[in-house]
Structure 1
Amino acid sequence: MRTLSALAALLCGLLLAGNPGTATASASPVPLTGRGQHRSSGHRPAPSTSSRPTTRPADPDDDPNWTAEDAIRFWTHDRMEAATDPSGRHAEPAGRTSIRKGPAVKSPADSGKHFAGIKSVGTLYGGSAPQTHYCTASVVDSPGHDLILTAGHCQSAHGMFVPRYDGRKSADAQPFGVFPVQEWFRDPQWAADKGANSDLDFAFARVGTYHGKNVQDVVGANTVARTPGFTNNVTVIGYPMTRYDRADQAVSCSARTSVLAGFNQMRIDCAGMWGGVSGGPWFSRADVNGSGTGEIVGNVGGWNAGGPDVPASDPLYNRITYSPVYGDRFFQLYEDAKLGAHTDHGPYQQPALPYSMGTWDAWRHARLLVAGDFRGTGHSDMIALWSDGRATLYLGDGNGGFASERQLLAPNTTWPHAQAITAGNFTGSNQSDLLVRWSDGEVTLYDDVADNGLNTAGTQITGPNPTWPHAIQMTAGHFTAGQDATNLIVRWSDGELSLYSGVGAGTFGRESQLTGPNRGWQDAAGLTSGEFPGSGKWNLMVRWKNGELDTYPITVSELGSAARLQGPSALWTGDQAMTAGNFTRNGRTDDLVVRRPDGGTTLYADTGSTKLGIAHTLIAPAP
């Protein structure tokens, strides 16, 4: 992302090998199609073990005689202060933008914070033209105590690494010195484009000494580890360029990663990741206040040099950030760098990519969502009903994500008539059942959906009638005695709210009126329920037409007082679907899933009665 070396090189007339400005872009990613269908085309076979590595010449930007004294003389105060912006983007991968544009945009849950930095992470200077620091790098463990890690697109001539850079001081007065970049190690198959080879956007550099000392001996070193998966808790550290961030300090952001669909890369949504943080480490753990080192599992880089292809004026520019996943090719390059070898390991073959739930263009057609323990695993799965009658079961992984999917219904002309759905344990098994209200007023119960599917007659609780078409919304929960979600709340078209206790096969049980017909409840735009108080009791959650969110405690015959999660919000208005389930590890049904009008879908983990949980993007909204 945040590369600033590519066009800087163009501005100064220096043509870098593999320069993003001269590389030939690969074809655009194959778009994901089908409702809820994960991408099955475009996957490349696993890397071949028979390819024979070959040696290759050192990079043309290498200069083994470039010293710290040379770097200090070259990087004068004026050069270090000059700010150029050789970056530029115009559109993120189709369907992968993280936040909608416009005034309705909500600030991300994660925002970077300025801090003094840690000594094992610093700024990179490079190129022949005056420019400010353009990338970020970190010291990694090596036999020679002289390696730094950054992004592949950060390679440049006249390199200088400044650990824990202090923007108030000149090059010869930095707190831990300056270290000249003498040799680069970058996978020759890397390409600064939007194709699969952007998975290789990492590089190492050997730096010379400062006052006779190696960089690792001065500031310590980080370890690197294989990226454990596409969902991780990380701390990202980088140095934004002064053009974007006049504080000229390190920025740190703790965030949760997700997969960049179609690539062997991760993504985060965190404000403050301006141009200049390219190459910055993604720590799985870091001793910020002690040794100043940690374990690195990624770096800012990847698709389009690590960020969405938008101009710097777009809010997404400083928020959406990518990182390669560290696998075999990364560690092959790491070993080469430790040995001082320049090896070509052959064409890059993208590994099998993880499951993806699809993209916004499909998910905007998801009419209804419902969560439930449909497989009896102890955590929730989710069913989506689509506008063409299709039904898909998404299998929860118990860690806030989904591992795979199963088609319950192909497109058909019957299920578009399903007007409201909810899930509960109505038949006494350990698996959730699906309750459906049809457009003609019929209400049908489908038991053990994961085993029996939906191509069955189901159990009719009431046949077609003139009353139940007015049941606008319904949600099942555990509001009264018992351990199972066998209660049903219905919001009627006239604003009346009813509670049915003991719903089962063929019966609605006992009905209680929670509130009589009224104008206020006619503005309820969506209902769901869950253990939001965290006390073993379930609450009703209401989304109102103006975007306000409230929760209500429920008794057998009474609707309690509202607790406010948030006031009116444009982000929560319009045609939206929502459900609550037990998708994370805390064992409670308190994880809220919301599908926005544009198809973007978010899981708010561990939501409370008065506060939304941490937002996890399941489906990135439309750009």
Structure 2
Amino acid sequence: MAAAVPVDAARGEAPADGAAGKQRSAMAAAPPGTPAGSYFDGMPMVGTFFYRQEEIGKADTSCTGSVVRSAGKSMVLTAGHCADEMKKPTSHAIFVPQYRNGKDVGAQPYGIFPVKANGVYQDPRYRHSSKGAVSDLDFAFALVDPNARGTVENVTGALTFTPVNTYEHNVTVVGYPSSASHNKDHKALRCNVPTTRLSGFRQMQMQCSGFWGGVSGGPWITDYDATSRTGKIIGNTGGYNGGGNDANVDWVTYSPIYGKDAQDLYSDANAGRDPNGTSRPPYQGSADSPLLPGQGDLWTHAKTMASGDFTGSGRSSLLVVWTDGEVTLFPGDGQGAFLPERQLLPPNGGWKEVANITAGDFTGSNQFDLMVRWSSGEMTLYGDVGANGLSVASATQMAPAGSIWSHATQIAAGRFNAATYVTDLMVRWSDGELSLFTNVGAGTLGQEYKLKDPNSTWKEATLLTSGQFSGNQKWDLMVRWDSGELDNYVGTTTGGLGGEQRIHGPNKTWTHSVIMSTGQYTDDGLTNDLIIRWTDGETTMYRNTTVNALGSERMLVPPKG
């Protein structure tokens, strides 16, 4: 132990014999303008780990951890690859918050906190420093014993473990680099920096130099308040290759995004449940085993989509019109995945002229129909698509070419007024007017109710969809605005829009969402699974979305490139 090296030495300088793995590259210089981390005295709830009490103040630090709020006030968050060492029966790991190099145990600001025996919680599907999909699971929780001052949370304060659904944030990243040549005093390093997505993974990335070995597990924090010792932790250094790129440079750093998997592990740790005893399906992740065929390069040609029970199975299928006029159907399996693709029409010139589609049970047969708005302004209803296909015989003209429907910018079927079948049609017109058509059926567009007069605000309603986001029989209207803001209008009826529920405010990432559709793809019996096709072809499902929060994210198609 006297010759201990950081658990994440692959991120930094390896010892001379190379025993700790790859050596951090010194050849790949950071791009001009890349910020540099600054050394400081640290934060009370952020610290480092040792594996013997005698090492404190004398040996290299080993990984970073941060105290997070928990029922037992004893939880420390770190990286999954750091937990590999702590789980060993002989590790005797110790957490030292706001560590001071050169000072012995009695002189540490808050003392030391031994990691409990059998108190380390790591997702059983994680594999050490993986470059595969399971690198999304590079997080872990360690429960620590109290010291003479009390439980660690009461002594140091704590951050709030905070799952997020987006990748762009302004964060403060903190860690304890152990590199003797770059941080001989073993002080804490921080960087205030924006994040972006690591393509193909459920991970954020940031660029800031100085993040050598030892920083793994360090928190990515928003809304930190030094006075109250509070803030939100939305990530930790780790992920692909242990948290750094293939060149192992010090200025590129990754972090997992906390989704349902992280929340489940946090709940296990909070309740003292063995994560190995909890049923967890094989991890599909964001990088492998996509649920729809093809890559983002192909799916950039998905022109428009509609979700509905086209097969009469009681669950949704995804109908896609491609830019070459081909139309395909991907039947849902009811568990958030899809059965083999079924071609409804081969590539053809006629269906290249599709402008919008939406799906509803306008004929009341318990099998969904497809409503098509053509670029000419013609509206056509294709009844019982699953049984009849898209033949001329199944088509009913709802409005002729040259009609006012050429100005219908967005259409979305739903059950806003209807009692049983999905026979209502929401329309956003090019002048910002918003209309609800009820009792739509074969050959009739029913009755029109004006919900909004022409206005400039609703001209920015870029995408519309509808679903049972509130869990009620009547559906809610979801709007993606030009700014990337996402809102639900709950209780929308013929009398007007329902109450606005904000999912998130203006958001740069969401300005890249180009198709939005909602179906019943999982087994909760609700039409609340949101599908998004992004500009890079990535296609994502947010399962069990509610009125004010996106559901658990699952990549269906990885992005191009």
Is the shorter-chain TM-score for this pair beyond 0.5, marking a shared fold? yes
- The answer as to 2:417 corresponding to 1:413 is no
Q: 1:136: which partner in 2?
A: 83
Matched letter for residue 570 of structure 1:
K
Q: 1:558: which partner in 2?
A: 496
- The counterpart of 1:501, out of the listed 438, 444, 459, is 438
- The answer as to 2:468 corresponding to 1:468 is no
* Distance apart, 1:316 and its partner CA: 3.5
Counterpart-to-counterpart distance in 1, 2:378 and 2:365: 24
Q: Residues 234-262 of structure 1: CA distance to partner in whole angstroms, max 9, x if unpaired?
A: xxxxxx962299889xxxxxxxxxxx98x
Q: Against the structure 1 CA distance between its residues 406 and 276, is the aligned structure 2 distance closer, same or farther, given a 3 Å change threshold? A: farther
Matched letter for residue 463 of structure 2:
G
Unaligned runs of 5+ in 2: 1-5, 25-50, 106-111, 118-126, 139-173, 179-185, 190-198, 218-236, 262-287
Q: 1:573: which partner in 2?
A: 511
The answer to whether the 8 Å contact 2:302/2:320 transfers is: yes
TM-score by length of 1: 0.53
Q: Residues 505-563 of structure 1: CA distance to partner in whole angstroms, max 9, x if unpaired?
A: 23223333333333332222111111223232212222222223333333235344544
Q: Against the structure 1 CA distance between its residues 615 and 83, is the aligned structure 2 distance closer, same or farther, given a 3 Å change threshold? A: closer
Q: 2:319: which partner in 1?
A: 383
Counterpart-to-counterpart distance in 2, 1:507 and 1:550: 30
Alignment of 1:46-445 (within 5 A): 77-81=57-61, 113=68, 135-137=82-84, 161-163=91-93, 165-166=95-96, 175=114, 242-243=176-177, 269=203, 304=241, 309=246, 313-314=251-252, 316-317=254-255, 319=257, 354=289, 356-357=291-292, 358-402=294-338, 404-445=340-381
| SS of 1:415 mapped into structure 2 | helix
The answer to whether the 8 Å contact 2:469/2:527 transfers is: yes
Counterpart-to-counterpart distance in 2, 1:176 and 1:516: 63
Q: 1:107: which partner in 2?
A: none
Alignment of 1:601-616 (within 5 A): 601-616=539-554
- The answer as to 2:477 corresponding to 1:547 is no
The answer to whether the 8 Å contact 2:381/2:442 transfers is: yes
Q: Residues 180-210 of structure 1: CA distance to partner in whole angstroms, max 9, x if unpaired?
A: xxxxxxxxxx9999699x99x99xxxxxxxx
Counterpart-to-counterpart distance in 2, 1:123 and 1:609: 32
The answer to whether the 8 Å contact 2:177/2:188 transfers is: no
Q: CA RMSD in A?
A: 5.0
Q: 1:29: which partner in 2?
A: none
- The answer as to 2:534 corresponding to 1:596 is yes
Q: Residues 387-445 of structure 1: CA distance to partner in whole angstroms, max 9, x if unpaired?
A: 23233323333334445433434433222211010001122222212111111122222
Counterpart-to-counterpart distance in 2, 1:555 and 1:504: 18
Q: 1:12: which partner in 2?
A: 15
Matched letter for residue 505 of structure 1:
A
Q: Against the structure 1 CA distance between its residues 506 and 375, is the aligned structure 2 distance closer, same or farther, given a 3 Å change threshold? A: same
Matched letter for residue 60 of structure 2:
M
| SS of 2:59 mapped into structure 1 | helix
| SS of 1:573 mapped into structure 2 | helix
TM-score by length of 2: 0.58
Identity of paired residues, percent?
38
The answer to whether the 8 Å contact 1:590/1:608 transfers is: yes
Counterpart-to-counterpart distance in 1, 2:79 and 2:459: 57
Q: Against the structure 1 CA distance between its residues 486 and 78, is the aligned structure 2 distance closer, same or farther, given a 3 Å change threshold? A: same
The answer to whether the 8 Å contact 1:118/1:164 transfers is: no
Q: Against the structure 1 CA distance between its residues 534 and 612, is the aligned structure 2 distance closer, same or farther, given a 3 Å change threshold? A: same
Q: 1:230: which partner in 2?
A: none
Counterpart-to-counterpart distance in 2, 1:611 and 1:477: 20
* Distance apart, 1:20 and its partner CA: 5.4
Matched letter for residue 342 of structure 2:
R
The answer to whether the 8 Å contact 2:464/2:478 transfers is: yes
Q: Residues 21-52 of structure 1: CA distance to partner in whole angstroms, max 9, x if unpaired?
A: 79xxxxxxxxxxxxxxxxxxxxxxxxxxxxxx
Q: 2:419: which partner in 1?
A: 482
* Distance apart, 1:12 and its partner CA: 2.0
Q: 2:28: which partner in 1?
A: none
- The counterpart of 2:521, out of the listed 583, 588, 591, is 583
Q: Residues 63-115 of structure 1: CA distance to partner in whole angstroms, max 9, x if unpaired?
A: xxxxxxxx96996742233889xxxxxxxxxxxxxxxxxxxxxxxxxx99477
The answer to whether the 8 Å contact 2:14/2:23 transfers is: no
Q: Residues 117-141 of structure 1: CA distance to partner in whole angstroms, max 9, x if unpaired?
A: 779x9999xxxxxxxxx8332688x
Matched letter for residue 296 of structure 2:
W
| SS of 2:517 mapped into structure 1 | strand
The answer to whether the 8 Å contact 1:122/1:165 transfers is: no
- The answer as to 2:457 corresponding to 1:520 is yes
| SS of 1:161 mapped into structure 2 | coil
- The answer as to 2:438 corresponding to 1:491 is no
Unaligned runs of 5+ in 1: 23-70, 85-110, 125-133, 141-146, 149-159, 179-189, 203-239, 249-259, 262-266, 280-299, 324-352
The answer to whether the 8 Å contact 2:388/2:394 transfers is: no
Counterpart-to-counterpart distance in 1, 2:392 and 2:245: 46
Counterpart-to-counterpart distance in 2, 1:376 and 1:14: 65
Counterpart-to-counterpart distance in 1, 2:442 and 2:511: 35
Counterpart-to-counterpart distance in 2, 1:591 and 1:384: 17
